[in-house]
Structure 1
Amino acid sequence: MDGYTVIDVETTGFSPQQNDRVVEIGVVYVSPRGEIQDHWSTIVNPRRDVGPTHVHGLTATDVSTAPTFDEIAPYVLRALTGRVVVAHNASFDLRFVASELVRAGIALEQLPLDGICTMQWSPAFLNATSRRLADCCRAGGISLVNAHSAIDDALATAALLGHYLDLAQYDPPWTDTLAACTAYPWPTFPGSYPELRMTRRHEVRSARQDEWLDRIVSRMPRAADPRVDSYLAVLETAMFDRFLAEHEKEALVAVALDSGLSRGQVLDLHGDYLLAMAAVALEDHVVTPEERGDLESVASMLGLRSTDVDEALRAAHEDAVASQAAAVSVSSSGIVLEPGDRVVFTGDMVREREEWESIARGHGLDPGGVTKKTKVVVAADPNSLSGKGRKARSYGVPIVTEAAFERLMSESFAA
């Protein structure tokens, strides 16, 4: 193989079938061993409104003098031909790239395009709190600056790919995708290459208020099905402003259909989202009328009922009570950590997870995933509704804070 091409696109919306377009593209060339070789990016004039500026930070003024996708299409085609395409939530990015290439008159024989998805492979290589690129990068010790800038996201994804390759000792488990990508019958560009004109992202970016979304996403369980993770990634972006416009609803339906999800599966995912939102509302043990109104509004937008809000609040409260009971039981149970005990770290903690794992290994403990034999789970938030938190509670494994774990370590390994 010639190597990997990592791409990231920022878009006007969520579905090319709904006439959404690319407003920025980042392209990074990566060697078969994961070294970044070169990269380029440009803002793209979509010849329509730019969509959610509050997400991607681009305005109509920013794109007004940028090249159209038609102008850069030959260079995008050249960047992909004969190489293995990589993206974080690849099904989303590749749908847009394919749509734009076809619009530009480049005939693609086989759709959908195939590629390696660093989001899909993240559970195999990372202990991340969520599927989001920022959380995956944090788990892999990778810097991500200016999230939702196409080139910064693409460079971070390229570094994530390199991390996976290193962990796999350069014998990655995606051999079928490698074969499919390298054998793809890319067409030859029929005309002469125009001058490559690029417009860089402006230094001034619109402020993004991520805290509310971050707190909800951190409580969403990871899915074993990559189709589900792909849909949830789009849903999280759509819900960024706590409002689901009609065109966003239509786009989500299109994404669900593209992903092969049934109506029942989609409603289950919306229920998970509402449950995570209820947990955020209950963080201070009080649900204000404004928070209840938010929950009711979001439930309605997601096709759920008022009774689903009641159920979400009840379930979130029960999980919180169970977590608190587990934390209390640890402090009075006389748990003693011994070499060989399995301990699990989850969430965005004060100390970096890698530091905690190093400390644990230094005392002979075994950091890893949740099993029935796990001695204790250390969580940034013991009330977390993450997959690890739920599994720990189902096994009866105590979930404790960093401070409680530090006390356990001090008591168990006192000189």
Structure 2
Amino acid sequence: MGNGYAIVDVETTGLSPGRHHRVIEVAVVHVDFSGRRTDEWCTLVNPRRDLGAQHVHGISADEVRLAPEFAGIAGELAARLSGRVLVAHNLSFDLRFLSAEYARLGFELAASGLCTMELAGQFLGASSRSLTACCEAADVPMCGARSALNSARAAAGLLMRSLDRVGDVPPVRLNVPQVVNAYATQRRRAHIPNRDFLAERVEVLPRVGTRRYDEYLDVVDRALADGRPMEEELADVACALGLDAAEVMELHRGYFTLVGELTGGRA
């Protein structure tokens, strides 16, 4: 049956591991099958490259300089995931990055799990995709500061609200040497990003209702709200989700029409 749930969140240098973007922070929150939060763990990760949009994640070069590389936390992370059901908000996003990090080390992370973005839409009355909007709909407390740990805690809250309707999901099996209590580096403080006019409206955009489409548009939401370059990274995301050019074009047409309506042309 497994050991419960591992709710994961990652902060990254960008939106696509296919563009050599890396994990720079990872958090895991454990929840047992009764819905009790039993443990949590978080560390910064040194990506050995630039940190990308620092105004978005708030992680500085000084903070990651002495942090372990992913190889240094891979065993610890494997121990915290293995035997548990993997959970994340837009699971496909976090899973792509974690799979890419393990693949660099010669290991395969072949996992499925639960997506709280989907659970919140199905069971908790959330009409939007964002973690903030889903938590508001489900009356789940969420810290306003941005960090992998705060996001994982919020997703754990969404899971706990949904547990009575969650079916059987296979736990993660990771054939990675498991090292417990590897050293972790914490960020000095969680980041409170500037929430501008566009970011606030993107946060409440309605979901489409098709899982792959919402997974893709959630990444578009992040890119647009954060002011990130989009074209090449989104092409990689679309490919990873199995979306063809016609589907992407139709999604973009509907999405940016709606953004224009919500922002009055200020996007």
Provide TM-score, normalisation by structure 2.
Answer: 0.92
1:201 to 170, 178, 187: 187
**Does the alignment pair 1:174 with 2:167?**
yes
Work out whether residues 216 and 276 of structure 1, in 8 Å CA contact, stay in contact via their aligned partners in 2: no
| 1:85 equivalent in structure 2 | 86
Work out whether residues 75 and 177 of structure 2, in 8 Å CA contact, stay in contact via their aligned partners in 1: yes
Higher mean Cα deviation, 272-281 or 258-267? 272-281
Structure 1 vs Structure 2 CA RMSD: 2.0
| 2:24 equivalent in structure 1 | 23
Distance 1:173 1:195 in 2: 31
| 2:177 equivalent in structure 1 | 189
| 1:125 equivalent in structure 2 | 123
| 1:262 equivalent in structure 2 | 244
Q: Which runs of 5+ in 1 are unaligned?
A: 295-415
| Residue 281 (structure 1) shift | 3.6
2:216 to 231, 238, 242: 231
Work out whether residues 217 and 276 of structure 1, in 8 Å CA contact, stay in contact via their aligned partners in 2: no
2:200 to 214, 222, 244: 214
Task: Say which SS state the counterpart of residue 95 (structure 2) adopts.
Answer: helix
Amino acid at match of 1:237: R
- 1:74-113 aligned at under 5 Å gives the runs 74-105=75-106, 107-108=107-108, 111=110, 113=111
| Residue 117 (structure 1) shift | 0.5
Per-residue CA deviations over 1:153-207 (Å, capped at 9, x if unaligned) read 0011111101111xx2xxx3432xx1xx23x5421418xx386211112226364
1:274 to 244, 256, 259: 256
- 1:304-315 aligned at under 5 Å gives the runs none
Distance 2:99 2:25 in 1: 15
Distance 2:240 2:27 in 1: 24
Task: Count matched residues.
Answer: 266
Distance 1:139 1:221 in 2: 13
State the identity %.
38
Task: Say which SS state the counterpart of residue 234 (structure 1) adopts.
Answer: helix
**Larger Rg belongs to:** 1
| 2:61 equivalent in structure 1 | 60
| 1:51 equivalent in structure 2 | 52
Amino acid at match of 2:244: S
| Residue 231 (structure 1) shift | 0.6
Q: Which runs of 5+ in 2 are unaligned?
A: none
| Residue 249 (structure 1) shift | 1.7
Distance 2:81 2:190 in 1: 31
2:158 to 160, 169, 181: 160
Distance 2:192 2:32 in 1: 34
Task: Say which SS state the counterpart of residue 240 (structure 1) adopts.
Answer: helix
| Residue 272 (structure 1) shift | 2.2
Q: 1:210 to 1:87 in 2, by over 3 A?
A: farther
Work out whether residues 145 and 190 of structure 2, in 8 Å CA contact, stay in contact via their aligned partners in 1: no
